[in-house]
Amino acid sequence: MRVAMYYRNDDVRIEERPIPDIGPGELLVKVMASGICGSDIMEWYRMKKAPLVLGHEIAGTVVAVGDGVDAWHPGDRVFVSHHIPCNTCRYCLSGCHTACETLHGGNYDPGGFAEYLRVPRLNVDRGTFLLPGNVSFAAGAMIEPLACVVRGQRLARLQPGQSALILGSGISGILHVMLARATGAGNIMATDISAYRRDQAARLGADAVADARDDIPAWVRQVNEGRLADLVIVCAGAPAAFVQSLQCVDRGGTILCFATTAPGIDLAVPINDFWRNEIKIMPSYGNSPQDAVTAIELIRLGRVPVERMITHRLPLTEAQRGFRLVADGGEGLKVILLPHGQG
């Protein structure tokens, strides 16, 4: 089978490797659609493990089942989660599924940028979901990123009517815009340095957009009835975005660090101001199985129309072009690879 082997952002090669063998309790899935994530292009994170086959946002068709698998059959259309919690450790039992050691240690083989992949037993048991009939494979590849956004807003407890400011209008930022709109948030504001991405944020649900290089705290007050934001979601890895978030959150509000910086970068927090005004700072990484279920339903019902975000559908052979599109951050939102030519 063909795979897209990652060496670095500007060196993604189409190579051949055997179709994985499956064992008891496992599945072989034909990958029909696989999304390129912003985390796939973080070279500081990816190159230390390269060369490898990336891709963790997939939808496809079951082609073979291992001994003991009764819930799935060849021909089933599925979404498969790549990282799965054990659901039994102290972290899972306290609701902190993405702190689970099992979640950080698992994945499917070899990765989503391949024609076929092996789904390990644990992922079959609690990370494989039936794709609804009205959801395309390309939309199915959006379940994982939407599930991460669902988790972030769930933990941040965004309530109907509250204002939300999204700093960074890439894929994650616009998914936050769309989910906030779907769940009844009040004033939804978004920023980015790219005019194209600001336009897309407005097209997909933001009430107001601004250039991230402007005086954003003053702008927020201007468009938000004189108040700062109830929830500020950082979806850009630039340190300036994190500093900006500290200046834009209202009393009693929350800062959700959805993005991360490169290692070794610290954030100076005005502890006294935040202490007096009950401001919270929290991160969010990944998702849990319950978030995936919610994401599937939101897509199935059309509440979050993820296909409107897909700007490029490319064959696997054009994986290098796809990585370049995502890394350059130009006029494009979501890039989906179609290993078998349709999705």
Here the CATH number for the domain that contains residue 41 is 3.90.180.10
Residue 126: count of CB within 10 angstroms of its CB? 15
**Is residue 77 one of the residues assigned to a domain?**
yes
**Is residue 343 one of the residues assigned to a domain?**
no
Residues 99 and 114 in one domain: yes
Residues 278 and 155 in one domain: yes
Residues 172 and 254 in one domain: yes
Q: Which of these three, 258, 283, 308, is where a domain ends?
A: 283
Residues 279 and 308 in one domain: no
* E strands, the chain, in order: 2-8, 11-16, 27-35, 52-53, 58-65, 77-80, 116-119, 128-130, 164-167, 188-192, 208-211, 229-234, 249-257, 280-283, 310-315, 334-338
pTM over 0.85: yes
DSSP assignment of 279-321, as one string? -EEEE--S--HHHHHHHHHHHHTTSS-GGGGEEEEEEGGGHHH
User: Torsions phi, psi of 150, nearest 5?
Assistant: -55, -45
Residues 134 and 71 in one domain: yes
Q: Could you list the residue range(s) of the whole structural domain that residue 201 is in? A: 147-283
Q: Which two tokens stand for residue 213?
A: 């290089």
Residues 170 and 195 in one domain: yes
Q: Which of these three, 241, 266, 283, is where a domain ends?
A: 283
Residues 274 and 316 in one domain: no
Residues 229 and 201 in one domain: yes
**Is residue 234 one of the residues assigned to a domain?**
yes
Report how many domains make up the chain.
Answer: 2
**Is residue 118 one of the residues assigned to a domain?**
yes
Per-residue pLDDT at 329 = 81
Residues 104 and 208 in one domain: no
Preceding amide of 18 cis, omega within 30:
no
Q: Which two tokens stand for residue 127?
A: 């990370």
**Is residue 175 one of the residues assigned to a domain?**
yes
**Is residue 140 one of the residues assigned to a domain?**
yes
Here the CATH number for the domain that contains residue 245 is 3.40.50.720
Residues 166 and 185 in one domain: yes
Nearest-CA neighbor of 45 among 285, 260, 330?
Answer: 260
CB 189 within 8 A of CB 220: yes
CB 111 within 8 A of CB 2: no
Q: Which of these three, 283, 304, 320, is where a domain ends?
A: 283
pLDDT by residue for the chain (343 residues), tens only, comes to: 999 999 998 999 999 999 999 999 999 999 999 999 988 877 776 777 789 999 999 999 999 999 999 999 999 999 999 999 999 999 999 999 999 999 888 789 999 999 999 999 999 999 999 999 999 999 999 999 999 999 999 999 999 999 999 999 999 999 999 999 999 999 999 999 999 999 999 999 999 999 999 999 999 999 999 999 999 999 999 999 999 999 999 999 999 999 988 888 888 898 888 889 999 999 999 999 999 999 999 999 999 999 999 999 999 999 999 999 998 888 889 999 999 987 6
Residues 123 and 227 in one domain: no
**Is residue 269 one of the residues assigned to a domain?**
yes
Characterize the bridge pairing of strands 27-35 and 58-65. antiparallel
Residues 6 and 141 in one domain: yes
**Is residue 255 one of the residues assigned to a domain?**
yes
